[in-house]
């Protein structure tokens, strides 16, 4: 009857909207897409709230066996749940197109995603350029296509949201070559790893898109109770312990005075493991320190 694409928000089972929850409870099957992002709660909590079994849809199922999700959707409603907003990844657009080709009705229930919630860091959403993805480097694969996009944003004075790689249920290639399917443990890129890779690419490309002294904002566990936001230079953020995933990074462009005032509340030097040097572009160290003291606890 209906394929529902339902956004779950960013943190835990409680972030689903009332509209999304009502739709989900009408469905005969409920899938959870579990490879482009993760909720910071386990499946059991979702099932308890929904009153439904939750079927984990990994990359293989969504990209290669999507027909399994759509099978039977012409006789009973099916929910495809996505962390954040349903259209945060192009894969979900593809699923919608497949459903429409089969003559199925598709309804979308939107929710918050990192693409809009990133405004919590104090930088205006209107001043963001194209977002980029940074993937884990390997010995033989070190993609740097993000660099030109960051450089273009920088030339226009725009901020850049860097989405950091996650690896969930990735096959072990060595085992696969021997005819065995073995999956590697999940990996989630940290802000530290992202910065190290960014600086490596800048050293190789030399276009001046950013450098160790560039202003940036590190964001960990956005929307969670222990959310952490720290503003500083890339060099300073390398020294910050951002803790558990998920992490994101924003490279600042031209910073408006109002944005500057907000970033002062998140300057490096607040919290365990943070550095204490002043942050270029955020006003004098005296004023910044006063703002940090006034905003103690903000962003957590």
Residues 196 and 256 occupy one common structural domain? yes
- Annotate 143-182 with b (16+ C-beta within 10 A) or e (fewer): eeebbebbbebbeeebbbbbbbebebeeeeeeeeeeeeee
Average pLDDT along the chain: 87
Residues 100 and 126 occupy one common structural domain? no
Q: Does residue 259 form part of some domain? A: yes
Q: Per-residue confidence at 186, pLDDT binned at 50, 70, 90?
A: confident
Q: State how far Cα 125 lies from the chain centre.
A: 15
Q: How many domains does the chain contain in total?
A: 2
pTM to 2 decimals?
0.86
User: For residue 175, what pLDDT is reported?
Assistant: 60
Residues 81 and 179 occupy one common structural domain? no
Domain of residue 86, CATH code: 3.40.1010.10
- Which residues make up each annotated binding site for S-adenosyl-L-methionine? 10, 85, 88, 113-114, 164, 222, 247
* Cβ–Cβ < 8 Å for 178, 227: no
187: β partners:
167
- Annotate 192-225 with b (16+ C-beta within 10 A) or e (fewer): bbbbebbbebbeeeeeebbeeebbbbbbbbbbbe
**Range of the structural domain that residue 151 is part of:** 115-265
Rounded to an integer, what distance in angstroms lies between the CA atom of residue 107 and that of residue 167?
Answer: 29
Placement of tokens 């309804």 in the chain? 107
Q: Does residue 283 form part of some domain? A: no
Q: Does residue 62 form part of some domain? A: yes
* Cβ–Cβ < 8 Å for 171, 184: yes
Secondary structure tally for the chain: helices H, strands E: 12, 12
Q: Per-residue confidence at 75, pLDDT binned at 50, 70, 90?
A: confident
- Reported as a single tens digit per residue, the pLDDT across 272-299 is 444 445 566 675 434 333 333 333 333 3
Residues 180 and 135 occupy one common structural domain? yes
Q: Does residue 286 form part of some domain? A: no
- Which residues make up each annotated binding site? 10, 85, 88, 113-114, 164, 222, 247
- Reported as a single tens digit per residue, the pLDDT across 150-163 is 999 999 999 999 99
């Amino acid at each position: 009857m209906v394929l529902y694409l339902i956004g779950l928000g960013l943190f835990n089972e409680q972030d689903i909207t009332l509209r999304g929850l009502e739709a989900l409870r009408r469905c005969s099957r409920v899938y959870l897409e579990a490879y482009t992002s993760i909720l910071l709660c386990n499946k059991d909590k979702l099932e308890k709230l929904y009153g439904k079994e939750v079927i984990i849809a990994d990359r293989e199922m969504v990209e290669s066996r999507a027909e399994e999700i759509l099978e039977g959707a012409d006789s009973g409603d099916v929910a495809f749940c996505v962390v954040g907003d349903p259209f945060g990844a192009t894969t979900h657009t593809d699923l919608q197109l497949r459903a429409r080709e089969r003559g199925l009705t598709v309804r979308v229930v939107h929710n918050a995603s990192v693409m809009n919630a990133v405004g919590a860091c104090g930088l205006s959403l209107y001043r963001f350029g194209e977002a980029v993805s940074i993937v884990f480097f390997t010995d033989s694969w070190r993609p740097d296509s993000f660099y030109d996009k960051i450089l273009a944003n920088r030339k226009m004075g725009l901020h850049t949201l860097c989405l950091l790689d996650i690896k969930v249920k990735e096959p072990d290639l060595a085992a696969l070559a021997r005819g065995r399917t073995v999956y590697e443990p999940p990996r989630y890129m940290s802000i530290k790893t992202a910065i190290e890779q960014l600086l490596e690419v800048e050293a190789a490309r030399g276009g001046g898109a950013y450098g160790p002294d560039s202003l940036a904002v590190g964001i960990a566990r956005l929307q969670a109770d222990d959310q952490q936001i720290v503003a500083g230079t890339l060099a300073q953020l390398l020294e910050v312990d951002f803790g558990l995933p998920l992490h994101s990074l924003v490279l600042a462009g031209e910073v408006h005075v109002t944005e500057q005032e907000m970033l002062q509340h998140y300057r490096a030097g607040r919290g365990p493991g943070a550095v204490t040097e002043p942050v270029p572009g955020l006003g004098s160290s005296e004023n910044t320190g006063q703002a940090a003291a006034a905003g103690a606890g903000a962003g957590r």
